[in-house]
Amino acid sequence: MEITLNGYYTLILATLVLLLGRFLVKRIKFLEDFNIPEPVAGGLVAAIVVYILNIVWGYSFNFHQGLQTATMLMFFASIGLSADFSRLKAGGSPLMIFTIVVSVFIILQDVVGVAMASVLGLDPLLGLVTGSIALTGGHGTAGAWGITLEEQYGVVGATTLGIAVATYGLVAGGVIGGPVARHLIKKLGLKPAAANPNPSEVERLAGEQSLYSTKHNEEEVHGNKEMFEKPDNIRLITASSTIESLALFAAALAFADIMTLLAQDTWFELPTFVWALAGGVILRNTLTMVFNFDMFDRAIDVIGNASLSLFLAMALLSLKLWQLTDLAGPVLIILLVQTLLMIGYAYFITFKVMGKDYDAAVLSAGHCGFGMGATPTAIANMQAVTDRYLPSHKAFLIVPMVGAFFVDIVNATILQIFTKLPFM
């Protein structure tokens, strides 16, 4: 029996999934420790229930796609509207260098994913799903690209696989980040702060960190952590700021719709959500740099986080878990290789390029976090290291900015190039 739910019931179910997820994350320590998002925790339970209903009684469900698409586009627009390029000045050259390091890794991640998928007899496009789509991109990018791959390229199970891979990445990124950083710090001869026998060395390193703790940088650090890493924090927003922010979202989505139509069947054809992200970037930086417009970042953040949660809840409700049966073995092999690649790259490349010092070790832990999972995982990795050793204002300035929005812009560009290659 096929049951079709309209937008109202789809929204009601999505909200119930989010409430279930919040309950599970608060009650199950594993979910909290590894920063599993509430929509993922509740959505996977809902997907299992839907799967059982289908297997046992033959029920299948169709959910309102328009609402899911709208929330997806609003999430990507929020990334663009948050991408203030003037913040590059706050991070300086280390921010630029780290962005390049991350960009090179995204390319390697996709090359490995595509190559491994081809060797194992899978569609090369599924290699992108087990590459930067789900790992560097996280659940939001996995859901968006999964829909695109299924509808435009006919890749069966792309969304389901993407969500599963992104969940694996969250756990793996949280597991490997700390050990990588601790091993690197041991090479530097540092010991935990509470037991460091050389106080003068601790003072010297702490003094170096203070170079990054100016008032402006502190505001950037704490601002980014609050905006992007703590979606449950209270935001001081007003009705007028919300309305103005919604107008910006509407403009970004209108731009995406127009550009999707104009670019159709041309060499610069892009998925609509990429245009939404690009529209947000253009709108944000034009208004702030040319017209000196004061953006309401807090309102943009609230709307973006809410949109992402609803999108993930609806995407997970629509999962068809039975599509993963034949992919389980090959995908596990690819993910193990990707995990080893992340460890090796963070240890030998990220650490050395970023200066081979304590900050570089903390940045390596952060890179493991969002290279495999998401920016909150990166922050958790770095906090685990800095709580044990020394502060790293440089790392907490750079990682939130790169992981929260710059990496999504780079990832979308690289993925678009990969999908246009002749062997894909």
Q: Which of 30-34, 112-116, 284-288, 397-401 has the lowest mean pLDDT?
A: 30-34
Spatial distance between the Cα atoms of 359 and 366, rounded to a whole number of angstroms: 11
Q: Distances in Å between the alpha carbon of 76 and those of 20, 141, 174, 334?
A: 25, 9, 24, 28
Q: Give pLDDT, residue 61.
A: 84
How large a percentage of the chain has pLDDT more than 70? Answer: 87
pLDDT at 206 over 70: no
pLDDT at 19 over 60: yes
Using CA atoms in the order 65, 68, 74, 75, what is the torsion angle rounded to 10 degrees?
-140
Give the single-character DSSP code of 177: H
Q: Is residue 50 part of a domain?
A: no
Q: Give pLDDT, residue 15.
A: 95
Q: Give pLDDT, residue 361.
A: 94
Average pLDDT, the chain: 84
Q: Give pLDDT, residue 223.
A: 44
Q: Is residue 316 part of a domain?
A: no
Q: Give pLDDT, residue 293.
A: 86
Q: Is residue 385 part of a domain?
A: yes
Using CA atoms in the order 127, 128, 132, 135, what is the torsion angle rounded to 10 degrees?
-50
Buried-state track 307-342, b at ≥16 Cβ within 10 A, e below 16: bbbbbbbbbbbbbebeeeeebeebbeebbeebbebb
Q: Give pLDDT, residue 197.
A: 45
pLDDT band at 193 (very low <50, low <70, confident <90, very high): low
Average the pLDDT over 346-373 and give the result.
94
Q: Give pLDDT, residue 37.
A: 76
What is the C-alpha end-to-end distance of the chain, expressed in Å?
A: 37
Q: Is residue 279 part of a domain?
A: yes
Q: Give pLDDT, residue 220.
A: 40
Task: Identify which has the larger pLDDT, 306 or 268.
Answer: 306
Three-state secondary-structure class, residue 154: coil
Rg over alpha carbons for the chain, rounded to the nearest Å, is 21
Three-state secondary-structure class, residue 185: helix
Reported pTM: 0.75
Query: 365: which 2 tokens?
Result: 């832990």
Residue pLDDT, tens place only, 88-131: 666 678 989 999 999 999 999 999 999 999 999 999 999 999 99
Q: Which of 21-30, 211-220, 262-271 has the lowest mean pLDDT?
A: 211-220
Q: Which residues are paired to 61 by β-bridges? A: 3
The answer to whether 346 and 180 have CB atoms below 8 angstroms apart is: yes
Task: Identify which has the larger pLDDT, 212 or 424.
Answer: 424
Q: Is residue 99 part of a domain?
A: yes
Q: Is residue 344 part of a domain?
A: yes
Spatial distance between the Cα atoms of 62 and 115, rounded to a whole number of angstroms: 34
Q: Which of 196-210, 358-372, 402-416 has the lowest mean pLDDT?
A: 196-210
Domain region containing 99 = 67-309+327-419
Average the pLDDT over 185-212 and give the result.
56
Task: Identify which has the larger pLDDT, 345 or 92.
Answer: 345
The answer to whether 273 and 152 have CB atoms below 8 angstroms apart is: no
Three-state secondary-structure class, residue 213: coil
Average the pLDDT over 256-271 and give the result.
85
Q: Is residue 386 part of a domain?
A: yes
Task: Identify which has the larger pLDDT, 319 or 392.
Answer: 392
Q: Is residue 4 part of a domain?
A: no
Task: Identify which has the larger pLDDT, 101 or 190.
Answer: 101
pLDDT band at 400 (very low <50, low <70, confident <90, very high): confident
Q: Give pLDDT, residue 131.
A: 96
Residue pLDDT, tens place only, 38-63: 888 898 898 889 889 888 888 888 88
Which residues touch 342 (CB under 8 Å, ≥6 apart)?
A: 105, 109, 172, 173, 176, 367, 368, 371, 372
Residue pLDDT, tens place only, 120-158: 999 999 999 999 999 999 888 999 999 999 988 899 889
Number of domains in the chain: 1
**Residue with token string 């780290």:** 98
pLDDT band at 226 (very low <50, low <70, confident <90, very high): very low
